[in-house]
Amino acid sequence: MATGKNIRTWFEGAWHDGDVAILRAADHGSWLGTTVFDGARQFEGVTPDLDRHCARINRSAEALMITPTVAADAMAEIVQEGLSRYPRGAAVYIRPMYWAIDGDETGIVPRPDSTGFAICLEEIPMAAPDRATTLTTTRFRRPVLADNVVNAKAGCLYPNNARMIAEARAKGYANALVADAVGNVAESASANVFIVKDGEVFTPIANGTFLSGITRARHIANLQADGVAVHECVLSFDDVRAADEVFLSGNMSKVTPVSEFDGTHYQVGPMTKRIREMYWDWALSDPR
């Protein structure tokens, strides 16, 4: 089941209308989960940080021992060709994907240079600026590199995210605030997290248990350029409870305000609004 509508698929050298089948039953990615993807966005005629998303999927592939086959700049050109088939103002989710096709003699290790590649474009509206979410705790945690491929945006990591969100929904919340292996705040089940306290911004330091997002980095750069103090540091759940504002950062919505964490309520405050404004100002002024 697709998330969005008006889908187009790039596969085997050409763009196709619709949600095209791309994997076979015996592909390594189908039965052993060797799949990676990335997500970028087009909105209001711009594709912010598309080059970084295309570069990151190649790094993700290498982390899963999949041989990337499309250079980042060529990938971005293919994406732009596909986007030209949509209205310029369309909000489109951009998802390039790799998967391993064949395994070695054990069947487990992907064979080098046996790689599938596709790009899926889906129209998905951008969230309203004031559309907030709620958070709760979860018993599930982020893994470390010794346990899983946390240095990749890999499909095999997402069942863990799904069970976090399912647990949160069962408790009456929309998302989960997740701990790292030692119990400090890592991120939510689906996006990086920031808190605001006394006019300064704090976010968990990238400690190898979660992907330090491209949009996260863009917010930090924008804030620093605006003279706001930003701290990448160890955060506890009590730090989040004591915050003035909390928001999530991810490619899908860019900025998502948090209105509640386990009974602690927050307003969609001035810093959260300002961060969204700065992101849009930057994105719409970027010639890419």
The confidence score (pLDDT) of residue 268 equals: 95
Q: Are residues 179 and 231 in the same domain?
A: yes
3-state DSSP assignment of residue 146: coil
- Tell me, yes or no, whether 128 lies in a domain: no
Domain final residue pick, 94, 123, 152: 123
Question: Mean pLDDT over residues 119-124, rounded?
Answer: 97
The confidence score (pLDDT) of residue 1 equals: 45
Domain of residue 173, residue span: 133-285
Domain final residue pick, 123, 147, 178: 123
The confidence score (pLDDT) of residue 254 equals: 97
Domain final residue pick, 123, 141, 161: 123
Which of 55, 121, 113, 111 shows the shortest CA–CA distance to 87? 121
Q: Are residues 161 and 88 in the same domain?
A: no
> Does pLDDT of 63 surpass 60?
yes
Distance CA 148, CA 21 (A): 28
The fraction of the chain above a pLDDT of 90, given in percent, is 95
The whole-chain average pLDDT of the chain stands at 96
Tokens 């069947």 belong to: 107
Question: Mean pLDDT over residues 219-248, rounded?
Answer: 98
The confidence score (pLDDT) of residue 286 equals: 64
Q: Are residues 106 and 150 in the same domain?
A: no
Q: Are residues 154 and 102 in the same domain?
A: no
pTM for this structure? 0.94
> Does pLDDT of 231 surpass 80?
yes
Compute CA distances 168 → 54, 137, 161, 242, 248, whole Å: 32, 7, 11, 21, 16
> Does pLDDT of 66 surpass 60?
yes
Tens of pLDDT, residues 154-180: 999 999 999 999 999 999 999 999 999
**Which CATH number belongs to the domain containing residue 90 in this structure?**
3.30.470.10
Strands 35-37 and 92-100: antiparallel
